[in-house]
Amino acid sequence: MTARLQTDVLVLGWGKGGKTLARSLGRSGRRVVLVERDDAMLGGTCINVACVPTKALVHQAEQRRPDDDADAYLARAIATRDGLVERLREANRQLLATVDAVTLVRGEARFVGERAVRVTGGDEALEIRAEHVVIGTGTVPRRPGIPGDDGPRTHDSTSLQALEGVPARLAIVGAGAVALEFASMFARFGSAVTVIARGPAILPAEDDDVRESVEATLADAGVRILTRAETERIDDDGTVATVVTSADPVHADAVLLATGRSPATAELDLAAGGVDVDERGFVVVDELLRTSAERVWAVGDVNGGQQLTPISLDDHRIVAAQLTGAGGRRRDDRVAVPTTIFTTPPLARVGLTEREARERGIAVRVGAKAVAGIAAMPRPKAVGETHGIVKLVVDAETDLVLGAALHCVDAQEVVNLVALAMRAGATASDLRDGIWTHPSSTEALNEVLAELR
């Protein structure tokens, strides 16, 4: 027999957008049901297998000394990471469990009609109907579909984090953010890492000087980058995996497939709920995050936008504004969204590159200096990490900052200041003449922006 439940808002998936929306609406008195199918994903991808745990491992890798035993050090790092994840998972449980209007349901959801889902868990089933539905089921690592990509030494970004020892040789198929973060991390854990890139270079969207800075830093860490190499198959003879490419073969003890992510929608039967998807399976939404079904929205990675936790958080604001009647928020309102690739040091960026600005016909002034040569930026020297470059692109007529690439210690923090300046209309001169704490990485702005050309 199937139990039935009626609610104001049904949220599918415990990601950043869904859980924040559930909590805020529940605290305002709306009846909310949140459905999550996986106990290991309470709180969402970010805190369980992605942003937080991987950056915890990045930090641990950076602290490893050359004489530390690689396998024992990795085991301790993973144990530390797991303790952090469990604390965050419990905090997320409490955030929602303490809101009386929010009901948490564990199980697999499948649409059975308009704003109606059937949730199954074991022998039990629950049919939930709602006035409003929010889909936030996120994404999962995508397999490229090449022969041998399911072999015993082949991993995705989740399973690689659970290795029992450091692979002597790690091959990484892909050259995006995930690939470069794991390459930098595992090189410091002790692996000989090869990144296999299909194109002529990594980071093709970046200016040459920024890309070259990242390449040089990875090379100094021992990472080899194989370019113009299409992966054809992965052979495993029981002792070693060989990634066969259109260039050189790469022999490895472990292979990471960092080839993107796919929407976690296969089990939802979205068609039964009248929800359209695109050719990749992502839920189609408009600028208000509305799907093709009435009063059904999609937030976070599942809607095919930027796969960033802060974007998912902002998605929740857009939907909440509609449900509360406040309105006024849209996806196309977003300006100067910063991003960071957590290599060591991190590469953070916001806005236009120099190349993009010039291609648009904008007259620009550019400030760019290698970190090691920025006298007013002593923090990298103090912490012993002087790789990188700081680059800002400025409108020559208005003095407004158009973009920045920050490959340096603390880049993930400094970029937020630059992004705020761009959104608030502060000028490059304002940043140049700012009084910043000392010693800090922010001080680079004083020197680099004083030498615009």
Whether residue 85 is annotated as binding a ligand: the answer is no
Pick the closest to residue 307 from 158, 434, 177 (CA basis). 177
Distance, CA of 219 to CA of 51 (rounded, Å) = 24
Whether residue 180 is annotated as binding a ligand: the answer is yes
Angle (CA) 141-142-143 rounded to 5° is: 120
Mark whether 251 is an active-site residue. no
Distance, CA of 15 to CA of 11 (rounded, Å) = 10
Tokens 């630059």 belong to 418
Whether residue 55 is annotated as binding a ligand: the answer is yes
Q: Decide: 355 and 329 in contact? Cβ < 8 Å.
A: no
Whether residue 174 is annotated as binding a ligand: the answer is yes
Whether residue 205 is annotated as binding a ligand: the answer is no
Whether residue 258 is annotated as binding a ligand: the answer is no
Whether residue 332 is annotated as binding a ligand: the answer is no
Whether residue 192 is annotated as binding a ligand: the answer is no
Q: Decide: 379 and 390 in contact? Cβ < 8 Å.
A: no
Catalytic residue among 155, 251, 407, 438: 438
Q: Decide: 228 and 199 in contact? Cβ < 8 Å.
A: yes
Beta bridge partners of 366: 393
Distance, CA of 206 to CA of 356 (rounded, Å) = 9
Q: How far is CA 171 from the centre of its chain?
A: 21
Q: Decide: 350 and 422 in contact? Cβ < 8 Å.
A: yes
Whether residue 177 is annotated as binding a ligand: the answer is yes
Beta bridge partners of 427: 400
Whether residue 238 is annotated as binding a ligand: the answer is no
Whether residue 19 is annotated as binding a ligand: the answer is no
Task: Read off φ and ψ for residue 185, nearest 5 degrees.
Answer: -65, -55
Angle (CA) 304-413-41 rounded to 5° is: 45
Q: Which residues are the active-site residues?
A: 438
Q: Cite the annotated binding site for NAD(+) by residue number.
A: 174-181, 260
Binding site, annotated residues for FAD: 55, 301
